[in-house]
Amino acid sequence: MKLRIISMLLTVVIFICSMQSYVLANSETDTYFYKEEIIYEYDYSKDNDNKDSNDSSWDTELASTLSISCDWLSNQSEGDLLYLTLGSSGKASSSIDVTYYINDIRLKNKFPSLLELSYAVLNSTFCGYSATNILGKNLINQFENFKNLNDQSLDTLCYALLAINCNPYDVSNKFDIKSCINSILKYQNSDGGFRLSTNTDKSNVTSTALALIALSEYKEEPQISSAIKKGLDFISKSQNQYGDFEVNGQPSSVPLSYVIIALCSLNITLNPSEFNHTSESLTSLLVHKYSNIDGSFAEQLNGEGDIYATQLAILALTASKENKSPFKLNTPLVVDSIKIQENTINTDKNNSDNNEISLISIVLVSAFLIFSLVIVLYFKRKNR
Q: What Rg value do the Cα atoms of the chain yield, rounded?
A: 28
| Contacts with 2 (C-beta within 8 Å, 6 or more apart), sequence order | 377, 380
DSSP code per residue over 275-290: G-SSSS-HHHHHHHHH
Burial class (CB in 10 A: 0-12, 13-18, 19+), 52: exposed
CA-CA-CA-CA torsion sign (79, 81, 85, 91): positive
CA dihedral 154, 160, 161, 162 (to 10 degrees): 100
The residue-averaged pLDDT of 276-287 equals: 82
DSSP state of 221: S
pLDDT digits (tens, 9 = 90+) for 201-212: 899 999 999 999
The residue-averaged pLDDT of 5-21 equals: 54
The CA distances from residue 268 to 198, 287, 300, 323, in Å, are 30, 20, 26, 8
Predicted model pTM:
0.75
Give dist(CA 233, CA 353) in Å, integer.
Answer: 64
Contact 310, 291 (CB under 8 A): no
* Domain boundaries along the sequence of the chain: 2-31+358-383, 42-332
Query: CATH says 42-332 is which class?
Result: mainly alpha
| Contacts with 129 (C-beta within 8 Å, 6 or more apart), sequence order | 38, 102, 335
Contact 219, 181 (CB under 8 A): no
Using DSSP, state whether 335 is helix, strand or coil.
coil
pLDDT digits (tens, 9 = 90+) for 60-113: 889 999 999 999 999 988 889 999 999 999 988 888 999 999 999 999 889 999
The number of beta carbons lying within 10 Å of the beta carbon of residue 46 is 11
Contact 348, 29 (CB under 8 A): no
φ/ψ of 51, rounded to 5, equals -145, 135
Using DSSP, state whether 305 is helix, strand or coil.
strand
CA-CA-CA-CA torsion sign (169, 175, 176, 180): negative
Which amino acid belongs to residue 158? C
DSSP state of 217: G
Q: Residue 184's pLDDT is what?
A: 97
- The pLDDT-based confidence of 132 (bands split at 50, 70, 90) is very high
pLDDT digits (tens, 9 = 90+) for 320-343: 999 899 999 988 887 544 333 333
DSSP code per residue over 3-35: HHHHHHHHHHHHHHHHHHHHHHHHHHHHHHH--
Give dist(CA 33, CA 35) in Å, integer.
Answer: 7
| Contacts with 16 (C-beta within 8 Å, 6 or more apart), sequence order | 361, 362, 365
Question: What is Dmax (Cα atoms) for the chain?
Answer: 109
Using DSSP, state whether 346 is helix, strand or coil.
coil
Q: Residue 175's pLDDT is what?
A: 93
> Average pLDDT, whole number, for the chain?
80
Is pLDDT of 353 > 70? no
Q: How much of the chain exceeds pLDDT 90, in percent?
A: 57
Is pLDDT of 302 > 60? yes
pLDDT digits (tens, 9 = 90+) for 282-293: 999 999 999 999
The residue-averaged pLDDT of 289-311 equals: 95
